[in-house]
Amino acid sequence: MSQFFIRRLILLLPVLLGITFVTFALARILPGDPCYAVLGEKATVAQCDAFLERYGFNDPIPVQFARYLTDIFHGDFGESLRYRRDALRLAGEQSVRVLLLCVAVLGVAGLIEAFLSPTLLPIWAKLSVGALTGALLWAYVIFVGRRAAGSP
């Protein structure tokens, strides 16, 4: 059993490297200049040159990818260009919302399963699980939606 986990961990490394490469390549292939996307259309050439130099967009793509991998290996996921904040901290703040959304989706799936599954479990047990997860979905929409809209 331990050999199975060791093999899976070893196979995880090329998969993670491949996913990292694909996401990096997709970000570089997209049309448009990152300078104008972040600073706006009224950015001057000098501002764009400073921006590209600061974030390393002037370097060759392999150099950028090597720097990206090194930073990830050291736990530095960079700064969000849109929010000007640490990307890992920003992702951590959003992970609670994503987790709640996943729970809600699983609840809806459980509710659908309650009507479609031919199991021996009584229908009231299936419906109670669906109702509880529906209540969680409602609470998520109400509380997170109010917070996102800036309401107290």
Three-class SS string for 50-108? HHHHHCCCCCCHHHHHHHHHHHHHCCCCCECCCCCCEHHHHHHHHHHHHHHHHHHHHHH
The pLDDT of residue 147: 53
The pLDDT of residue 142: 65
The pLDDT of residue 150: 47
Whole-prediction pTM: 0.57
Could you tell me the residue ranges of all domains in the chain?
2-76, 91-148
- Return all residues near 48 (Cβ < 8 A) that are at least 6 apart: 33, 35, 36, 39
- Express each pLDDT in 52-92 by its tens digit: 888 888 888 899 999 989 988 888 888 877 777 888 887 77
CA distance linking residue 150 with residue 139, whole number of Å: 17
